[in-house]
Each structure stands twice: as C-alpha cells, then as structure tokens.
Structure 1
Amino acid sequence: MKEKDWDKDWLYFTKRARRGVFVLLTLFIIIAIFPRFYDNYFYKPIAYKVGDIVTENPSKEIVEKSHKQYVIPEKPFNPNTIDKEGWMRIGLSEKQAQMIINYLKSGAILKTKSDVKKLYPITDELYNLLEPMIDLPTTRHKEEFAQYENNTESKKESPISIKNNLLIPISINTATEEELLQVKGIGPFFAREIIKLRDAYGGLISLNQLLTIYKMDKERLDLISPMLIVNESEIKKININSASLERLKRHPLITIDMAKSLVYYREHEHPFKTVDEIMLTPYIDKKVYLEIKPYLTVD
C-alpha cells in the first residue's frame, strides 16, 4: 500500500510545477515551428533587377558612363592643331589634354588617323567615336598611297616622273591647286594637303613646313623646292589687338592659354604697341615668339 502511494506521489505535480512544465513545452513548440512559420508568412525574397546587380566586369559600366561624357566635334578636326581646350571639350581631363599638347609641342606629328589611337589618353572607345571626324588620312588611304607609288603604270603617270610645265617658280602661299599640279613631284594628294596646311597657318614662312604633310620627305621636298617660292608678305596675319579669343586659338601655333594671356594683357594692361611685347605675357618664351611672330601684327 505504501509502495502504491509512493507511485502516486511520484507522478503527482504541484500546481506550480505543472505551470512550469506547461511554459517549457510551449517554448519548445514555438522554437520548433517558428522558423518554418516565419519563412512561409513573413520572409519575402528580394527581387533584384539585372541592372542593379554589380557585374563581374566593372570596366563595362565605366565605359558606358564615360561614353556619356564625350562630346564629339560636329565638324572634322585636325588633331595636330586642336588646342588644350578643344581636347577638354571632347571630354578629356585638363591633365590628359595637356599631355597631348606637350607631346605635339615636342615635335611629334600625327600623320594618320591611327596615330591618334597611339596617344596615351585616347582609349579605344574614344578613338572609335572620334575616327570619323579626324581630318587625317586613314590607314586604308596610306595603303592605297603606297600601292599607287609601287605601281609601275602609276609611276609613269605620276607628276613626280614628268617635267615641270611651269616656266617660272610659283608662290606657295597663293598658288591654286591646278598650278601646284604643274610642279614635278606634286600630285593631287600633295596639292590638296599643301593648300590645307597653308590655310590653317595663314600662309607658310618656310618650305620646311611642308615636311609635316603625310608622305612628304626630304627627297620630295628637294625635288619641288626649285619651283616654289615663299613670300612672307602674302601671309594673312592676325591682329593681336583686335582678334577674338576664338580667332587667336584657332591658329596651330597658339594654344588656348597663350590666346587667353594675349587677350588679358591687351584688355588689362594696354594694347600691344609691337609684336615683341607678347613676350611679356605668360606661356610665350623666346622660342615660341620666334615661331609665331611672322603670323602676328599690331596694326
């Protein structure tokens, strides 16, 4: 009897104990079913758009962003004559633009479109955008020119192999394309390039300037020189006291910084009395002065 009572006592829980057991069982059930319940009723997977995901190749995103920064010139341009501000308008930084200007000032000449691609600040993407507007022969033209020169029949017809049709030398600063074609060594290509070069400068002060033309070498220059004369009085000079900033910086030898300093000096100091006074402005040293002096006037 005592043993039976002992069993009942062992199975008997006080009211306080029963509450504790109930609380523990409730917590256990909550812990067991809560994760599944949360996933079904509360968790909502985040919907990502393809464009919001960072790609493994961030360079593509950078290219797309940089593409929007470029402003392609509306008209063809010669990269040998474009100034620092011009490169910056396209989308290069000031440092990148100055790098190109310094490279060209060192005596380098961009003779074909593909030469522009070799400039350090010019990316493949930017080159592809600029290429149609670059006013230089293409690689294809270069190959055609070489093929033309290597062709026997072409050589027979080329102006370089015929006698001069001129009796007296002609002025390179006023000669027409037709007159230039009469000179032994000058064909249609060189006639056009000579006129294009002299128009950019306002005239030539030396026949050596022709060496900046693509495919013009010393041998050809020596051949055509006897029939060409340079007359500096025919140069179209720029009046530095009245020329606008745009007119000044358009000259191949005048950078945007030089143009601004000339305008600032004449407006805040006094009009230039002589061309020599340009050496009083920043960016123009004696070497630069000697190069641009023939193209300037104060009258």
Structure 2
Amino acid sequence: MMRKNYYQKLAFMVILLTILLAFQKYTSKDKDTFPEVKFIANSSVSANLSDFDPNSLNQEQWQKLGFSEKQITTILKYKDIVGGTFTSKEQLKKCYAISNEKFEELKKFILLPETAEKNNPKKFSSFVKKEVIVNGKFNPDIVSAQDWIKMGFSERQAEAIIKYKNYLGGSFISKEKFRECFIISPENYSKLEPYLLLPVKTPESFKAVGTRYPEKIKVQYHTFDPNSLDVNGWKNLGFSEKQAQIIINYRDRNLRGNFKSPEDLQKCFVISPEKFQEIKPFIRLSPEAIKKEEIKQEKTDFAKTDLNTITFRQLIEFGLDEKSSGSIIGFRKKLRGFVNKQQILDTYNIDKDLVQKLINIAPLDISGVPKYTLADAPEEWLKDHPYFKYSADRIIFYRITYPDDKKILKFLKLKPEYEERMKLYLK
C-alpha cells in the first residue's frame, strides 16, 4: 500500500513539473506583434469614372463629378460663351470653376482633343467666338433674335436673351437687370452698356410686381368691334404693343381681315383664357363685316391660291373638313413648306380624293421653303424637321469631322426612300 502511494505522488509531481516547464516556455516566447492598421481613405471621384464628353453632360451628371451647383452654373454659362460646345481640353481647363487639381483628375477621361485643330478651321468653325459689335445706341427691348446674331451672338445665345426678356415680362427694365442675363458675359456687357437705352437702376415698383410677370393693367372696358381696332385700340384694352400687333396680324393674315365670332378671337395665342373671359362680354361683331367676309370667301380663286400659303378657312371653303384641313396646315408647318404636291397627298387623316382635286387646281410656290446643306443646317431645324429629326444627332456628330453632305449621307446608311425625302430640303 505504501509503495502504491509513493508511485501516485511521483506521477503527480512529474505531471506538475511538466506543466510548469510548458508554462515557462510559453511565457518566455517573443510576443507576436499585431499587424499595422491602415485606414483607407475615401476613393476619389475618378475611381468610378469612365470616358465622357463634357458637351453632353447635364446638371445632375456634372454634380456626380463632384461639382457644386454654383460651379455647374458657371461651367454651363462658360460653355454658352464659347459658342455652345467645348472644342478641346485646353479650352475646358480655362473655366475658372474647374481647379487645376480637379482638371488633372478628370483629364484622362475627357473625350476631347488636347487643343483645337488650327489646321482644320472648318471643323470647329461653327463654334468660333465672335466679337460683339455695336453700331450705335439701341433699346434692347425691341431687338430681335436676328439682330442679336448680327451683333455677334450665336443663334442659341440670341434665343436665350429673348427668353430672359420674356421672363422679365417683355422688357429688360434697366441696365441692372440686363446685366443679370447669364448669357451676357461681363466683357460683352461692358461693351454694350454705353449704348443701352435703359435706366441705370431698376424701379422699386418692379420688385413689388415680381420678375416673372409684368404688372397687370387695370382696364376700363367698353363695347368694341375687334374687326375695327388698330394697335392703340388693343393697347387700350390692356395689351402690349407687341401683343396688339400679333392680334392684328392674326386677324388680317389668318382670318383674312375679320373675326367672325368671339371664338375666333379666343384662338389667338396671345389672348389668355382669363383675358378672353374679361373682354368677352364687351365684344360686338358687326354683321356687315361678317357678311363681307362670307362674300370674300365665296370668291376665293383656288387657281391662284398658293398651296404653301393657303389658310385653314380656305381649305374648309374648298370642302375639306376640319380634320383634313388641320392635318395639311400642321404638316406644312412642320416641314416649313411643301416642295412637291405629292407631300400634300401623303398627309395623314385627309380626304385624298378631295385633296387630289385641290392640288390639280392650285399652284405650289416653293421659293420660300428653307433649304440647307447638312453641314450648315441649324440644330433646331434638324431636330424638329420630320425628315431629319430621327437622324439629327448623328448628322451633328458626323459633320464636325466631315463637313460634306455626300460623306454624311454615306455614314447615315439610310434607306433610299428616306434619303430621297431628305434631299428635297437640301441645297
């Protein structure tokens, strides 16, 4: 029994010694070091970028590139100032809203040449910045889009200036307001300012009215015959001089000199529904004028009536219903004029038998129909014209590099019938 106890104690001591030696060995080892922790910084915008054309970006897309709303406004304004399109990376870099660091980040993704090609003036000729030239003092309120273009602004810039004027209510009000037009650079404003026939400061009363709508004029209405009013007569009813002239032109050109009913007056686009309801109780149409109009219509000589100027009422007089007449007038308006009589016969929703009789009688004058080369056609015309609008973007793209109609048509790869239709309106 004693021997058994001895061996048990010895075994216990051996086990304990083994454990102590193992623990000592473990504690004497060099401590493992933890790996160094490195924090990864947020990835830059360029990490998620792909190639892009700055000319095709909208405000939201510029924002995704990391620009603020104010910077984007400046970039888009600069784009308009240089002619509506960036032609090179060098040009884009000059925009002060894009810092050098930001430009270097985006540079490799920009789908533009490094510099504009000097040896190929035709390639970017449509985007060359023109110098603004003023011949004398002028009132900008009465300057047309064509006049702004003659001064040196692009077609797009001219339209923007007119829209801004309309936004203010039809008048620039003051030099102060004119300067706020985003399309006019400080440089161009300094050239124009001495010649502007406008007050320097904006009247305080203008602020109370608001910048979007002109002050409403209180009118003392009285009975009137819309067929006998001149410009001053319409102005006395609360219309501007420009609106008055449009109403008279609508009456004389579209309705052949006479409103036959109050509804005719309502159809004139410068008379709002609210304004029409105000003047309607005071409209008194002369029976004699209506009778004269009916006599005039009975005497229309369709053998001398040009199909490019024939009116809606004349088509009704010939016997066409309103649907057919409206389709012909609408299609002619989109085309900017017919160039052959078959186009009239191909118009949708018409009485073809009756239209065939009309085109057999009436002449077609195509001298006033606008025609262009594909290289020079205005973008708006291409995008709106029924024969060109579906190929407009490709035409605009190809003509930058190949300003030649034959090459552009070759690249378009159109069906023969579509190409023939285009050629009707090409020089």
RCO higher in structure (CA 8 A, sep ≥6): 1
Please tell me the TM-score bracket, short chain as reference: 0.3 to 0.5
- TM normalised by structure 1 equals 0.37
Higher helix proportion: 1
Question: Larger Rg: 1 or 2?
Answer: 1
- TM normalised by structure 2 equals 0.27
